[in-house]
Amino acid sequence: EAGVAQSPRYKIIEKRQSVAFWCNPISGHATLYWYQQILGQGPKLLIQFQNNGVVDDSQLPKDRFSAERLKGVDSTLKIQPAKLEDSAVYLCASSSEGPSTDTQYFGPGTRLTVL
Amino acid sequence: AQSVSQHNHHVILSEAASLELGCNYSYGGTVNLFWYVQYPGQHLQLLLKYFSGDPLVKGIKGFEAEFIKSKFSFNLRKPSVQWSDTAEYFCAVNAYYKLSFGAGTTVTVRA
């Protein structure tokens, strides 16, 4: 079974530039999550999709971050414009059902450096 | 505020030593509990999980964890570690349909 795919693996940009990350979940998984992991901290949920609908985006900085999952499969996360404090690893995860009782499977992450 | 606390930031031990990593959470009500591990150069993967039933759960690679409801704790243990257990370990709590992680504990096992 193929795992969660993410690209790119690394990205370096200057502040105020835009950046986009892509995630393809495990086939058949209805729920997709984006996490931000700052160095020295645990992952923090940014947004959760159930199929192509947003379930929770309470911790997404909506003035600069956006995410979509148009066909209920793959997803993109965008930052526009980026700030220095956005430097982090962005993790995508998926699960077959919802988060309560289901294991989340994580991708390798995208390491973003904002200069 | 609701939170997940891991007691140690960095643990260094020798092969064959016993390992115990502490995890406490502050959520009330029903929770589901997880330990995830990230080996060097690899992605986060599930080590073990607790949903209900026997509070002592066993995971992969000889790890186990005990849920103590009265103490809001879910500590991870392994009786004898190996060099290959060098990794970062994250405790996670699912409450209110959201998974929250602790800050992680880096475990270094010396050969």
Q: Are A21 and A37 in contact (CB under 8 A)?
A: no
d(CA B76, CA B60): 12
In the block, residue with structure tokens 């080590």? B47
- Is A53 in the B-facing interface, judged by CB distances under 8 Å? no
- Is A7 in the B-facing interface, judged by CB distances under 8 Å? no
Q: What percent of chain A has pLDDT over 70?
A: 96
- Could you tell me the two tokens for A72? 């209920």
Question: With contacts defined as CB-CB under 8 Å, which chain A residues touch B92?
Answer: 42
- Chain A nearest CA to B53, separation (Å): 14
pLDDT-based confidence at residue A2 (cuts at 50, 70, 90):
confident
Pairing of strands A75-79, A19-24: antiparallel
pLDDT of residue B98: 86
- Is A41 in the B-facing interface, judged by CB distances under 8 Å? yes
Instruction: Flag residues of chain B having pLDDT under 50.
Output: none
Q: Tens digits of per-residue pLDDT, A55-78?
A: 999 999 999 999 999 888 999 999
Q: Tens digits of per-residue pLDDT, B23-54?
A: 999 988 888 999 999 999 999 999 999 998 99
A66-73: which pairs have CB atoms within 8 A and are 24 or more residues apart?
A67/A34, A69/A32, A72/A30, A73/A24, A73/A25
What is the average pLDDT across A93-97? 89
- Could you tell me the two tokens for B76? 């991870």
How far is the CA of A87 from the CAs of A42, A58, B83, in angstroms?
A: 14, 20, 31
Coil, helix or strand at residue A2: coil
Q: Is the pLDDT of residue A33 over 70?
A: yes
